[in-house]
Chain A
Amino acid sequence: MRRYFGRKFLIYGLTFFLAVTVDWLIPRFMPGDPISNILSRSLLNAEGAQQMYDYYERVFGLDLPVWQQYLNFWGSLLHGDLGISAYLFPQPVTRVIWRAVPYDAFLLLPSILLSWWAGNKFGAYAARTKRLDNTILPIGYILTATPYMWLGILLAWIFGIVLGIFPIAGAYSYSMQPHLSWLFIKDVILHWFLPFASLFLVGFGGWAIGMRNMIIYELEADYSHYLEALGAPRSLIRKYAFRNAILPQLTGLALQLGVIVAGALVTEVVFSYPGIGYLLLSAIQNQDYFLIQGCFLFIIIGILIANFAIDIAYVIVDPRTRMGMLGDSS
């Protein structure tokens, strides 16, 4: 057990360290100067502009030597301070990101988990009969091959504008302030539904296909034939096959988390949903070093935590891993 988790910790720790370093490095080599951007619209005279430039440089710590900036970065990171946003000056980055995190969590977690669960279930159905296979599978292909934004916009168009059932922008109605009431909760869910649906549908397709392939593979394995020869009912065989097939899907889930950021970002742009993905895009377009770093960091930390959670889930679900922990590689 200790070795298993020890190795995991090592890998995650190393990944975290490298990822943070890369995170710190990349925005700094971007062309352009964020301070000039801030100042560009102030129409200050030369002296005023220079004074403001120096001030901003101090505030952002850009006047220090590079290695010191790096160390300061780690220092503040451990204090939970990610600096001040340039694009949204003078809001601190942590505050800006923290406001966006709930929206992302609200959007991503249900869509990932539900699409994973539903996709696996339907994939397993598809492996039962040829007829189901021929209906569910093509749907799966089409869904997984659809670009997120195209689907999102179509949904927004059909259900939002033509049928007028759902709103197409924002996280909650512009006529309300957040408060606890059924009206508000209903409103939040209405706003959430279309972005969620577009993420869910595309994910669903992918999982369904994957699971279907895995189940078929398992159904053709020796142990399935053996069970069949013994006269076990088909449902029992399928149950065992499902258990075995779920394992690679778990791994796939972990891998999917990195990819889902892409889908969420695009979906957020399409629906003006104020999550981290959209924040990251705005930060890049406005060359805000600190905000870029902050968003990136959050995404990476989120993914690492999720990966870790899945590793734990793996241990729970897969007896071989539990046994294997006593032995060698996982």
Chain B
Amino acid sequence: MKRSIFVISILVILSMLLAACGQATEAPAEPVAPAEEPAEPGEEMAEPAAAEVVYDRSETLYVSGAAWGPPSTWNPFQPGSLANTTGTLGFVYETLFDYDPMSGTMTPWLAESGAWVDDNTYAVTLRDGLTWSDGEPLTATDIAFTFELAQQYTAMWFAPMWDYLTSVTVIDDLNLEFAFVDPLYQEWENNLYNIPIVPEHLWADRTEEEITVGANENPVGSGAYLYETHSEDRNVWLRNENWWGIPVFGAPAPRRIVDIRTSSNNVALGMVLKGELDLSNNFLPGVAELANQGYVDTYFAGAPYMLSANTAVLFLNTTKSPMDDAAFRRALAFAINVDDIVNVAYANLVAAASPTGLLPNLDTFIDHDLVAEIGWTYDPAEAAAILTEAGYVMGDDGFFNAPDGSDIALEVTCPFGWTDWMEAINVIASSAQAAGINIQAVTPDYGAWNDALQGGTFDMTLNNWAALSNTPWTLYNLLFRHPIQDVIQSGNFGRYDNAAVFDLVDALATVQSTDVAGMQAACSEIQRVLLTDVPMIPLWYNGLWAQFSSAVWTNWPMDGSASPTLPTTWSGYWQLGGLNTLINLEPVVAE
């Protein structure tokens, strides 16, 4: 017996040692691609203090809800993968402009100013004194280099821009010009706050593979934060004390940011209750209750508690009967009880969407008269009337049959495990059934669902990629993406084929953003098609989930603040005001 105790304790200790060895190799990752070598330490680099392995609570910001997997890549040109290293674009790499959805304006960021010199030339003047974190200056050469990467490699996501961009000319260190032929003004402006600028002196010698898909470990950028370390469930960013933006915008308050990845939302909920998170961008169930009880604060003190982040759209597969019939689609729009989705499925954390699909920040482009005239509301009687008029006949089972007599049995899908969507499609199915349309809610696994989405084999399903944007064009470009291919990955999943509306969307892209009236007119025409033909149904605005605690950091943006910004850490949102939130934060002064 004694021997077995001995053996067992040896084994236990061995396993702990093994674990310890494994963890000790965590801290800085060994580079797979060539590491960023600092050229010469011209100025002093901000290095993390060697002994700093325990973070001071009052200097650290703990956030969650942005990363969903272990960090694996810091390549700013891979928007999808950046979901797990959310600060790469925004903290480390920056863009020429920022966009503030709250005020609807483009803020010059790296650029000091940018303007259309004439219809085909865009001139940019950079700020003076921009630097990279390794001390080198950021000049127009870097900008030109970054843009020209997409000319060389078609795998860059903004390569299509070179269809109408002809050349980038560097005039001097701070000035450059972009020359176009028939520019898509809307796309260009959208790109201005989405294209990260990378250092030419470090990237010029990289191979195509490294640039397009390399991991880019230990990234060197121009931004307010530096990469410090990471592990399976966290990213740690350290403030760049030499950031060029400090005299311009102010320094972001937290010295360190720990971006935590939890295995699911309810774990984040537990951490919020324990006070371990400052900002949580997860969808937390019951957060309305928590806000009422004072555990957390949210942007709005009452419903819908959250700002709106993207539009959840129900895509209808127009290649299948009866969804190829506009009357059926329109009737369906009247049959869905969006209020139940808002009140029951989401417990008032979201808001119903405009039938045009545009988010509130683009309200100027919603043609309200048109919506009042031909928009829809929840009205099952109207749905029935439309169907009957179109030749659908109510069967004995209480469900409508197609005009040719065939049964209608459809499925609305979402990935299994996306709990809020699962409840939403339950509401869609049950309200449709109540109106006489036989729709069942089905929840396949993500892989199968995604295949059906991209392959166009689904009946109807949800998608919410139409996110906050500076222009209505991005939404309509997503909804009416063309040309239609066998495998569709980026919009128009219902394969709605309408050359007229495609032309309208293309025309919208060519309207100058200063021409508000022109944009409104173009949008109005697109919306007319959307409201009459109803190829897809915008249902609700998903929330910009944000719950924050004022225990350690205060002055969070809330409704009624002087100049509120977006309280979010989501990838792709730092340039939408997320970084400004950090700049405005204040530490709670200990009494």
Contact = CB atoms under 8 A, between A and B. Distances in A.
A and B touch in the complex (CB under 8 A): yes
Interface of A: 30-33, 36-49, 51-52, 55, 85, 87-92, 96, 98-103, 105-106, 108-110, 113-114, 117, 156, 160-161, 164, 167-172, 174-181, 183-184, 188, 242, 268-272, 274, 278, 282, 285-287
A100 B215 CA distance: 20
Classify the interface of chain B: helix, strand, loop or mixed.
mixed
Contact of A175 (B55, B73, B450): B55
B487 interface: yes
A181 B20 CA distance: 12
A45 B16 contact: no
11 contacts: A30-B447, A32-B448, A36-B454, A39-B80, A52-B155, A55-B213, A105-B19, A168-B274, A169-B260, A175-B60, A272-B233
Given A99-B26, A114-B12, A51 B262 contact: no
Given A91-B72, A99-B25, 6 more contacts: A36-B451, A46-B485, A99-B231, A110-B15, A117-B8, A177-B54
Contacts of B451: 31-33, 36
Nearest to A164: B274
A88 B159 CA distance: 24
A237 B360 CA distance: 81
B270 A109 contact: no
B54 A91 contact: no
A102 B18 CA distance: 6
Contacts of B233: 169-171, 272, 274
Given A88-B72, A91-B72, A106-B19, A36 B450 contact: yes
Contacts of A108: 15
Interface extent on B, as a size class? 35 or more
A55 B211 CA distance: 13
B285 interface: no
A41 B263 contact: no
B160 A161 contact: no
A81 to B, nearest CB: 13
A71 B490 CA distance: 36
B73 A114 contact: no
B2 interface: no
Contacts of A274: 70, 231-233
B157 A43 contact: yes
B448 A36 contact: no
B273 A38 contact: no
B360 to A, nearest CB: 24
A180 B17 CA distance: 12
Which 4 A-B pairs have CB atoms at the shortest separation, nearest pair first?
A102-B22, A41-B80, A106-B19, A32-B447
Contacts of A114: 8, 12
A168 B263 contact: no
Interface in B1-53: 1, 4-5, 8, 11-12, 14-16, 18-27, 32, 53
Nearest to B5: A117
Given A36-B454, A41-B80, A176-B55, A98 B22 contact: yes
B65 to A, nearest CB: 13
B446 interface: yes
B185 interface: no
Nearest to B70: A88
B73 A51 contact: no
Contacts of A36: 450-451, 454, 487, 489
Contacts of B446: 285-286
Given A44-B155, A156-B270, A278-B263, A178 B19 contact: no
Contact of B214 (A42, A90, A270, A272): A90
Given A47-B154, A100-B232, A109-B15, A90 B72 contact: yes
Given A42-B157, A156-B270, A168-B274, A31 B258 contact: no
Given A89-B81, A110-B12, A161-B270, A40 B447 contact: no
Contact of B69 (A40, A52, A88): A88
B483 to A, nearest CB: 8
B477 to A, nearest CB: 10
A48 B22 contact: no
Contacts of A167: 274, 276
Contacts, number: 203
B229 interface: yes
B398 interface: no
B529 interface: no
Contacts of B60: 175
B78 interface: yes
A43 B490 contact: yes
Contacts of B14: 109
A253 B4 CA distance: 14
Contacts of A113: 8, 11-12
A164 B159 CA distance: 52
Contacts of A52: 155, 212-213
Contact of A42 (B24, B54, B79, B448): B79
B502 to A, nearest CB: 15
A183 B54 contact: yes
A38 B26 CA distance: 26
B271 interface: yes
B330 interface: no
Question: Most chain-B Cβ atoms within 10 A of its Cβ — which of A37, A96, A174?
Answer: A174
Contacts of B447: 30-32, 37, 285, 287
B264 interface: yes
Contacts of A184: 53
B123 interface: no
Interface string B469-508: 0000000000000010101011000000000000000000
B156 interface: yes
A281 B53 CA distance: 31
Nearest to A118: B8
B489 to A, nearest CB: 5
Contacts of B80: 38-42
A191 to B, nearest CB: 11
A146 B231 CA distance: 32
Contact of A45 (B11, B160, B445): B160
Nearest to A88: B72
A117 B273 CA distance: 37
Given A110-B12, A110-B16, A113-B8, A91 B215 contact: yes
A91 B264 CA distance: 23
B234 interface: yes
A317 to B, nearest CB: 9
A96 B572 CA distance: 26
A48 B81 contact: no
A55 B72 contact: no
A88 B446 CA distance: 17
Interface string B131-169: 000000000000000000000001111011000000000
